[in-house]
Structure 1
Amino acid sequence: MAVFEWSKRMICSCVLALFVFSFIAETRTAPTALDDPEEVASMVSIIIRNSTERKLMQLRGSPSSCVTGNAIDDCWRCDTNWLNNRKRLAACAIGFGRNAIGGRDGQFYVVTDPSDNDAVNPRAGTIRHAVIQTEPLWIVFQRDMVIQLKQELIMNSYKTIDGRGANVHIANGACITIQNIKHIIIHGLHIHGCRPTGNALVRSTPSHFGWRGMADGDAVSIFGSRDVWIDHNSLSKCADGLVDVVMASTAVTISNNDLWHHNEVMLFGHSNSYKGDKVMQVTVAYNHFGEGLRQRMPHCRQGYCHVVNNDYSSGWGIYAIGGSANPTINSEGNRFVADPKRYPYSNQVTKRTSGDKSEWKNWNWRSKGDLFLNGAYFVESGATGANSEAYAKASSDVKAQKSSKVRAITSAAGALVCRRNRMCTRK
């Protein structure tokens, strides 16, 4: 055995030496210090050390060991030094909301106080005080906290709410309103139990507060806004929608969220009659639609929706993707798993909620590369061909991965656990 081990070490050493001398012969053009045997030995040592460091980097979570095909996560989540590189996230958006920079160009604001006792005069250190400021801010959290908002959280432009590094819940009260503003990133929050609030005064900037009527109880309401990115949140059990995009909002991406136990999940478009939503472009990518969801995943009106590489893993009570008022829907590379035992009459992915077939047969709804399991099926309509103008307007820059990869791509959907010097993970 000793002879065998000695022989193995000699073979490895010889191979390594041949590699080094080959490298030297190919790269040098004149005699150098590498002619010195001690320098050659030093180079061998460097090569061994570098090889070892590369192996260790892979074990610690370097890019080569965590790439999944999820274009957003592959951009930032491999970085174990995420804590000092938080703003790198702002370069990772895809889809129609890809230009959202949030508070990238501003300072950090640390939320230290979970209270929300006064919607008109919010206390410094609270999330409400942070989001109403006029300058760009990257908002983070000092510690784990549950924030029960008394009234809608009215945000100002150029803000990022970044929950990484803390377990942050916005729960059992009002939730987030993005109204007539731009450049917003919402990342890493648990939002649930949202309920209607309003008929109250609420501050929207340091210099203005006003009367707010009743809010519907959405987790995130996007109203008349653009350049918005909602990413890696866990959303459930709200009074109305989980994410609603209305009143001519556009340039929105909703990605990597984990959604469950809710009826009307996502509504895009204010009403069948509101023509302003024809400009709307929304990307829905890499989300996990889980247990207990019934409909609107999403429901699109008027505008353009790109639904790409999402996992519909647990069936749907009524339908998965719906629409009315002639929207264009481009469904690519999604995984649709019907649940005929639980929902015996809901195998169809799609539902038109206005007009009869003579009307909706001309609506541009297309499925490309989707995976249909347990009897799920998609009813297409409208123009054909990948290059049609309608589909071009409904296709963001997201390159769809094969539907067979969707479970891996969406495996980290939802708010992540992020610890210092480690990759952020789902658990």
Structure 2
Amino acid sequence: MFPEACIFLFCFLICVPSFIRAATSLNLTLPNQHPHPEAVVQEVQRRVNVSISRRQLLSISMKDQSQCLTGNPIDDCWRCDSNWANNRQRLADCAIGFGQGALGGKGGQIYVVNDSSDHDTVNPTPGTLRHAVIQDEPLWIVFQSNMVIKLKHELIMNSYKTIDGRGANVQITGNGCLTLQYVSNVIIHNVHIYNCMPSGNTNIRSSPTHVGYRGKSDGDGISIFGSRNIWIDHCALSHCTDGLIDAIMGSTAITISNSFFSHHDEVMLLGHDDKYLPDSGMQVTIAFNHFGEGLVQRMPRCRRGYIHVVNNDITEWKMYAIGGSGNPTINSQGNRYTAPLDPSAKEVTKRCDTDEGQWSNWNWRTDGDIMVNGAFFVPSGGGFSTQYAKASSVEPKSSVLIDRLTMNAGVLGGARDNSFIMYGGGTTTGGSSSGGGGNSGDGDGDFFGMMFGSGGASTHSSPPTTIFSSLLIILILYLTTNHGGLLLFSSLLL
């Protein structure tokens, strides 16, 4: 076996430098990382411009037919269809930004949640949200009626799932809340998430064939860990123990849009640690959100990566709005920043635990932002680099349009702010109990509703890892188990 291993290793080491050079030339560290982030930025701007122009043209010539148009390209993509409830999966075509490739449950069956209980984390009851999100096949998950789902422990989602709360008042609270760990293609749309608390030290099922022991969770509203192709849209988040949304450990290809954040300290963390190199490939679009009452900091707080913050209404902070460390690229375009009354907290930006000598070359740009009540953004970097020049070739629409672009931020059809929903155990809303057992509705257990496609079979498989990543993993596994190979591998990379 040893001669064969040597031959394999020799051939592999010849190939590795070319792979490394190719990856380095594109600055790629993660699967699904876009090689040209400025092109994604430019496409976001183009789609906003097209939607606004269309609305302006129709408002002049066809007033009655333009009422559904807002200029928000995500909403205008599906909300003008009066028959959207019969074509829910159209939503998957409406994402923008780095998370625009998130398929969710597109092409899969419609799964109807008709039971708001969460009694058993190992053997969840069919018809519950927990049972829906752990299935292996793509599913588009909808809700039979209004319900408050009080989680017993964190809800661990599988790949290719859409949680679609449109048409119902869906509230998720309790222990752990939503966890996306090593998954892809997830859409979370139109749900309230609040009062999430740490829990764990228990067994939790994450798929039909796997149950694992989970330590204590942080109490995030949505925790994204080593995951990609994620889209969070039209959600309302508040009052969680840790972050409202955290994306860490090599997560990328994420869009967070049209959501309403309020009543929280550390709102959003993007990146695990300054020294965690894979997060250099993190790419996140934050668009058309409302950051509102009772917020303190992290809107977002970025470690490494490329973060595009575009057309948001950031109305309150107590410490700062956008923070970062580890040399992230922050591209702030067409936002409205409203500073607090505190004269010591007017600055939008904060470089965390870093002196100016280190951050002066970081690419932090403000383009078309409006500063209100003395707010100011401290840019950095050596002028407009090539990537920013390209990205700005399509001018972002002025943030004077922020009111219209964010007018529907949060959960549709109800109060946008979560300050009023501080329910205790057993609270009911709209006829469904947060802790109630049994089915609500007709009770026939028909949680698989309409079928899309022949037989409802899965048309998606998990995206393959890149050849480079796979070969690199093989090399690491081999070298770390053979005669000081780890040192050899390290020297090759230097």
Length-normalised TM-score, structure 2: 0.70
Indicate yes or no: 2:372 matched with 1:373. yes
Structure 2: segments with no counterpart, 5+ residues: 1-59, 415-494
Residue in 2 that maps onto 1:104: 106
> Paired residue for 2:401, among 383, 401, 405?
405
Residue in 2 that maps onto 1:204: 206
CA distance in 2, matches of 1:118, 1:397: 54
1:388 to partner: Cα distance: 2.4
Does structure 2 conserve the Cα–Cα contact (< 8 Å) formed by 1:252 and 1:282?
yes
Render the CA deviation track for 1:231-268: whole Å, top value 9, x for unaligned.
00010010011111100100000000001000000000
Residue in 2 that maps onto 1:130: 132
SS at match of 1:166: coil
Relative contact order, higher structure (CA 8 A, sep 6+)? 2
Length-normalised TM-score, structure 1: 0.80
1:189-338 counterparts in 2 under 5 A?
A: 189-313=191-315, 315-338=316-339
CA distance in 1, matches of 2:108, 2:231: 17
1:399 to partner: Cα distance: 7.2
CA distance in 2, matches of 1:137, 1:267: 28
SS at match of 1:345: helix
1:344 to partner: Cα distance: 3.1
Counterpart of 2:175, as a letter, is G
Does structure 2 conserve the Cα–Cα contact (< 8 Å) formed by 1:148 and 1:174?
no
> Paired residue for 2:182, among 173, 177, 180?
180
CA distance in 2, matches of 1:396, 1:230: 26
Counterpart of 1:378, as a letter, is F
Does structure 1 conserve the Cα–Cα contact (< 8 Å) formed by 2:267 and 2:298?
yes
Counterpart of 1:410, as a letter, is T
1:331 to partner: Cα distance: 0.2
CA distance in 2, matches of 1:359, 1:263: 27
1:174 to partner: Cα distance: 2.3
Indicate yes or no: 2:386 matched with 1:388. yes
Does structure 1 conserve the Cα–Cα contact (< 8 Å) formed by 2:74 and 2:94?
yes
Residue in 2 that maps onto 1:362: 361
- Return closer, same or farther for 1:213/1:291 CA change in 2, 3 Å cut-off: same
Residue in 2 that maps onto 1:39: none
SS at match of 1:129: helix
1:397 to partner: Cα distance: 12
Indicate yes or no: 2:72 matched with 1:76. no
Does structure 2 conserve the Cα–Cα contact (< 8 Å) formed by 1:106 and 1:137?
yes
Does structure 1 conserve the Cα–Cα contact (< 8 Å) formed by 2:259 and 2:409?
yes
CA distance in 1, matches of 2:159, 2:392: 23
1:80 to partner: Cα distance: 1.9
Counterpart of 1:370, as a letter, is D
Structure 1: segments with no counterpart, 5+ residues: 1-54, 419-427
SS at match of 1:178: strand
Residue in 1 that maps onto 2:36: none
- Return closer, same or farther for 1:399/1:72 CA change in 2, 3 Å cut-off: farther
Does structure 2 conserve the Cα–Cα contact (< 8 Å) formed by 1:300 and 1:322?
yes
Render the CA deviation track for 1:113-156: whole Å, top value 9, x for unaligned.
00000000000000000000000000000000000111111011
SS at match of 2:106: coil
Does structure 2 conserve the Cα–Cα contact (< 8 Å) formed by 1:95 and 1:396?
no
Does structure 2 conserve the Cα–Cα contact (< 8 Å) formed by 1:137 and 1:159?
yes
Does structure 1 conserve the Cα–Cα contact (< 8 Å) formed by 2:226 and 2:248?
yes
CA distance in 2, matches of 1:391, 1:324: 24
1:94 to partner: Cα distance: 0.1
Residue in 2 that maps onto 1:353: 352
Counterpart of 1:69, as a letter, is G
CA distance in 1, matches of 2:396, 2:162: 27
Render the CA deviation track for 1:139-181: whole Å, top value 9, x for unaligned.
0000000001111110111000000011000013321001101
CA distance in 2, matches of 1:234, 1:371: 24
- Aligned residue pairs total 355
Counterpart of 1:359, as a letter, is Q
SS at match of 2:377: coil
- Return closer, same or farther for 1:277/1:324 CA change in 2, 3 Å cut-off: same
Does structure 2 conserve the Cα–Cα contact (< 8 Å) formed by 1:103 and 1:184?
yes
CA distance in 2, matches of 1:396, 1:77: 29
Does structure 1 conserve the Cα–Cα contact (< 8 Å) formed by 2:153 and 2:174?
no
Does structure 2 conserve the Cα–Cα contact (< 8 Å) formed by 1:96 and 1:396?
no
Does structure 2 conserve the Cα–Cα contact (< 8 Å) formed by 1:265 and 1:297?
yes
1:400 to partner: Cα distance: 3.2
Does structure 2 conserve the Cα–Cα contact (< 8 Å) formed by 1:364 and 1:391?
no
SS at match of 2:279: helix
1:345 to partner: Cα distance: 1.4
Counterpart of 2:332, as a letter, is S
- Return closer, same or farther for 1:237/1:398 CA change in 2, 3 Å cut-off: farther
CA distance in 2, matches of 1:399, 1:66: 25
CA distance in 2, matches of 1:155, 1:398: 37
Does structure 2 conserve the Cα–Cα contact (< 8 Å) formed by 1:330 and 1:391?
no
CA distance in 1, matches of 2:376, 2:319: 13
Q: Say what the alpha-carbon RMSD is for the aligned residues.
A: 2.0
SS at match of 2:404: helix
Counterpart of 1:204, as a letter, is S
